[in-house]
């Protein structure tokens, strides 16, 4: 099993991935650590976080944490993220150069798409999985429509999925390997570490209950 496949396996096992868009690197690290205490080992930090590289390096130092970097739009960001310890790359759209850079470096890459043509382009380019974004524009049944014509396609869903078991379960039942949860999960700066940990703990077991 390649390292990219191993990362996807852990992502699928966790089922819910926190997508952090914190106000600064310190809050990103604190929020990620709260999620970690809540049982989440796979965590995505986004390039919208000021000085995100510092947060990636700090979190990646923990060998038990799988750190991904999202909102990646340039191949240079891929290389920097991987050098700092990131094990998967995520984007809201499809850039073939970003996918190619991640494939070359041997890390999992999950570009964003919405239409069948966009999903097919990501799949053909070598994406490890495809992120359907924004999920608020589609229904869970759409995943089955795509996998019926693209067997072996792995789909992640992000953007508008409620951060609760009832909101997440239909997407997992429809075949999503994971759900990305952003602002609804909260942050330490806004909600406190205990609350973030509680929310993470509530969501981390949703795969087992599906």
* Mean pLDDT score, 152-178: 94
For the chain, list the domains and their CATH numbers: 3-204 (3.20.20.70)
At residue 208, the pLDDT reads 66
Nearest to 18 by CA among 155, 195, 187: 187
Q: What is the pLDDT of residues 88-121, one digit of tens each?
A: 999 999 999 999 999 999 999 999 999 999 999 9
Q: Which listed residue (44, 53, 58, 197) is catalytic? A: 44
Q: Which listed residue (53, 131, 154, 197) is catalytic? A: 131
For residues 133 and 210, give the distance between their C-alpha atoms in angstroms, rounded to a whole number.
Answer: 22
154 is annotated as an active-site residue: no
User: Which contiguous run of DSSP H or E holds residue 72?
Assistant: none
Q: What is the pLDDT of residues 126-162, one digit of tens each?
A: 999 999 999 999 999 999 999 999 999 999 999 989 8
Query: Above 90 in pLDDT, residue 205?
Result: no
Confidence of residue 184 (pLDDT cuts 50, 70, 90): confident
195 is annotated as an active-site residue: no
The model's pTM is 0.96
At residue 162, the pLDDT reads 85
At residue 2, the pLDDT reads 73
Other C-beta atoms lying within 10 Å of the C-beta of residue 41: 16
């Amino acid at each position: 099993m390649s390292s990219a496949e191993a990362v996807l396996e852990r992502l699928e096992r966790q089922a819910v991935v926190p997508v952090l868009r914190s106000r600064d690197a310190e809050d990103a690290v604190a929020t990620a650590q709260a999620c970690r205490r809540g049982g989440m080992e796979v965590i995505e930090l986004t390039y919208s976080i000021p000085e995100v590289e510092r947060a990636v390096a700090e979190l990646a130092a923990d060998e038990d944490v799988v750190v991904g970097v999202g909102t990646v739009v340039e191949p240079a960001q891929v290389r920097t993220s991987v050098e700092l310890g990131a094990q998967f790359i995520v984007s809201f759209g499809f850039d073939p150069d970003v996918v190619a850079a991640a494939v070359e470096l041997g890390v999992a890459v999950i570009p964003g798409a919405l239409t069948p043509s966009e999903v097919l382009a990501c799949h053909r380019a070598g994406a490890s999985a495809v992120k359907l974004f924004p999920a608020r524009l589609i229904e869970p049944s759409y995943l089955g429509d795509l996998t019926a014509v693209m067997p072996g396609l792995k789909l992640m869903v992000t953007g508008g999925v409620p951060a609760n078991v009832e909101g997440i379960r239909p997407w997992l039942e429809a075949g999503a390997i994971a759900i990305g949860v952003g602002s609804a999960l909260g942050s330490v700066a806004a909600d406190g570490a205990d609350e973030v940990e509680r929310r993470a703990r509530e969501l981390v077991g949703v795969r087992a209950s599906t």
